[in-house]
Amino acid sequence: MKNRLTKWGTRFFLAIGVLSMITFVSCKDEEEDPPANPIASFQFAVSTTNFLEVTFTNFSQNATSYSWNFGDGTSSTETSPTHTYAAAGTYAIVLTAKNSANATATFNQTVEIKDPNSALALLAGETSKTWKLFREGSSLGVGPDAASARLWFALENTGARPCVYFHEFTFARDGSFTFDDKGSFWGETAVFAGTANNETCFEAIPANMINKDGANVSAWLSGTHAFTYEPTTNSITLTGNGAWIGLPQLGTSAESIVPEATKTFKAVIEQKEGYDLMTVSFTYDGIYWDASYASYSNPALEPEVVVVQPPFGEDLPNLTPTEMFNTFETSSSFAVLDTAGVYPGNGSAANGGMVFTMGVADPAGVGVNCGKYDRKGTYQELQFQMANDIQFDNFTTVSIDVYMPSSNNYTGTLTKGIGVIIGEASETAQWWTGHVQYDATATVMDAWVTYTFNLSEPTSGPGVGVYTPATKTNLDFFAISLGGGGHTDEGTFYIRNFRFE
């Protein structure tokens, strides 16, 4: 009997143990991994019928509950709430998303609530409002971004472009936009290079509105178009072929040298003492254009337009060299073309242009040092400002040795272009308005190639067909351009033997 109980007891406890093991394994199998951490995100839209009403759309992930702080002392726990503010203003919105394990994440965004009627009144007045290019300090320019606006170029009311300061841009409450050219137009180089109207004020008639490609651009002249204004995003859209502000060629996402049907830009309006100031801006990849316009409630505060430009710079003494070169091998391997005279403008690294280093090892391994050309930004030329006006009596060609590495990325906007530029800078605030250029395209990679140009045959630039170096006596500026212009794609190149013969 005792043995039989012992066997039964043993079997009982074994069964209990097996059952416990099954239970333990089953519980372990049923355990879940901890929930993923939440990610908070939202977007908002302002009602088209009530500017105080904002709908928030929740795009959070891995969350089970939400808490909204609308920045005005109110809150909500809805997933995607609609909130009505009591007054216009700027509000800091905070969304907190929480998962089932009480882990949280937050997302912050500022919402600016504007009364569209008061905002529209600031732009277009009670019935209409006329704006003119601001005549104090810099009024228009270009830079790499908003923080460095007008770094590369800035226009001032100095008499350089008087016609643009007379132009009037009128926004009306009925949605119309009117441009009045006041009888004169400016020949922007991007549009009119190589024509008689390049970089000058000319009569604003259709016959004169032919761009550098021969296209008719007279739609940019005086005319009435339409506009829409979205104050919550500070966006203005002009609609109507040829409607423009800032510069005619500035468009929504790129420049165009022909009129466009529509363009959208940012506009920020500030109220000043006696006038309002509107800054319009156009942003592209690595390029930021903006322009400041004023509308005066007190006309007596409006400065006069300077119509006669005072002389710029000085006429340099003439020099007729018999040799002119720089090998870039050492700091003294030159005649006349001294690198110490590198022009301190767009070609400097500080201005987002390029970095040039002399005396670097030959990439081909020959052993003769050369110059290393690292382009870093949109304005990329290696520029030389001479101490004299060079007379070209003894020269008929210009040449340069270029080593074009295949390791550069040429699939974007970086090109295999090579350019030699000759112009005048000592008496001209903008050398690029009258230079001539000699162009080539590299076809051989990873080897030194000599590119030679006939000085009497420039291939591009606003001076083409107007002069050659032999027929002009005030040329004092040279530049080397590699990789193409008008973009921020970087590249490394090597040069040597920049030589006039």
Same domain for 167 and 79: no
What does the pLDDT read at residue 20? 45
What does the pLDDT read at residue 24? 45
Residue 102: pLDDT over 50: yes
pLDDT, tens digit, 9 for 90 and up, residues 375-384: 876 667 888 8
What does the pLDDT read at residue 8? 43
3-class DSSP state of 23:
helix
pTM: 0.60
Residue 109: pLDDT over 60: yes
Residue 362: pLDDT over 80: yes
What does the pLDDT read at residue 355? 82
- Beta strand pairing status for 287-296 and 275-284? antiparallel
Same domain for 397 and 328: yes
Is 30 inside a domain boundary? no
Is 221 inside a domain boundary? yes
Decide which of 374 and 488 is more confident. 374
Decide which of 225 and 34 is more confident. 225
Decide which of 33 and 43 is more confident. 43
Write phi, then psi, for 380 (nearest 5 degrees).
-120, 5
Same domain for 194 and 281: yes
Angle at the Cα of 310 from the Cα atoms of 309 and 311, rounded to 5 degrees:
115
Write phi, then psi, for 265 (nearest 5 degrees).
-150, 170
Distance in angstroms (rounded) separating the CA atoms of residues 198 and 55: 51
Which residues, 6+ apart, have CB-to-CB distance to 10 below 8 Å? none
| Range with top average pLDDT, 114-118, 348-352, 412-416, 418-422 | 418-422
Helix, strand and coil content of the chain, in percent to the nearest 5, comes to 15, 40, 45
295 token code pair: 């509308």
CATH code for the domain of 56: 2.60.40.10
Same domain for 63 and 161: no
CA distances, 144 to each of 156, 285, 288, 348, 383 (Å): 19, 9, 6, 14, 20
Average pLDDT over residues 149-170: 94
Tell me, letter by letter, the H, E, C secondary structure of 337-387: CCHHHECCCCCCHHHCCEEEEEEECCCCCCCCCEEEEEECCCCCCEEEECC
pLDDT, tens digit, 9 for 90 and up, residues 267-317: 999 999 999 999 999 999 889 999 999 999 988 999 999 998 777 788 899
4 token code pair: 């039989």
Same domain for 359 and 340: yes
Partners of 228 in beta bridges: 237
**Contact predicate 387/367, CB 8 Å:** no
Average pLDDT over residues 340-350: 46
Name the percent of the chain lying above pLDDT 90. Answer: 70
Residue 79: pLDDT over 80: yes
Residue 21: pLDDT over 60: no
- Rg for the chain, CA atoms, rounded: 33
pLDDT, tens digit, 9 for 90 and up, residues 216-252: 999 999 999 999 999 989 999 999 999 999 999 999 9
Same domain for 363 and 412: yes
Is 485 inside a domain boundary? yes
Is 21 inside a domain boundary? no
Same domain for 141 and 174: yes
Average pLDDT over residues 48-54: 89
Secondary element (H or E) of residue 480: strand 477-482
CA distances, 71 to each of 68, 114, 115, 135 (Å): 9, 15, 18, 40
Residue 130: pLDDT over 90: yes
Name the percent of the chain lying above pLDDT 70. Answer: 90
- Which strands sit side by side in the sheet containing 82-84, from one edge to the other? 42-46, 53-58, 82-84
3-class DSSP state of 405:
coil
Partners of 441 in beta bridges: 417
DSSP string, 223-287: EEEEEEEETTTTEEEEESTT--SSSTTB-SSSB-SS--SEEEEEEEEEE-SSEEEEEEEEEETTE
**Contact predicate 293/281, CB 8 Å:** no
Q: How far from the centroid of its chain's Cα atoms is residue 76's Cα?
A: 40
Is 361 inside a domain boundary? yes
CATH code for the domain of 375: 2.60.120.260
Is 10 inside a domain boundary? no
Looking at every residue in the chain, the average pLDDT score rounds to 89
Is 491 inside a domain boundary? yes
Distance in angstroms (rounded) separating the CA atoms of residues 137 and 301: 14
Residue 22: pLDDT over 80: no
pLDDT, tens digit, 9 for 90 and up, residues 320-340: 999 999 999 998 999 999 876
Average pLDDT over residues 189-193: 91
In the block, residue with structure tokens 């903006």:
290
Same domain for 205 and 68: no
Residue 95: pLDDT over 80: yes
Same domain for 328 and 261: no
Same domain for 228 and 343: no
Q: How many domains does the chain have?
A: 3
Report how far apart the first and last C-alpha atoms of the chain are (Å, whole number): 126
Question: How many helices and strands in the chain, by DSSP H and E?
Answer: 4, 32
Is 9 inside a domain boundary? no
Secondary element (H or E) of residue 220: none
In the block, residue with structure tokens 């340069």:
400
Tell me, letter by letter, the H, E, C secondary structure of 32-58: CCCCCCCECCEEEEECCCCCCEEEEEE
What does the pLDDT read at residue 311? 78
Final residue belonging to a domain, choices 113, 133, 154 = 113
**Contact predicate 251/190, CB 8 Å:** no
Instruction: Name the E strands within 70-126.
Output: 75-76, 82-84, 89-98, 104-113
Same domain for 255 and 392: no
pLDDT, tens digit, 9 for 90 and up, residues 441-477: 999 999 999 999 999 999 998 899 999 999 999 999 9
pLDDT, tens digit, 9 for 90 and up, residues 385-417: 899 999 999 999 999 999 999 999 999 989 999
* Structural domain range at position 248: 117-301
Same domain for 428 and 351: yes
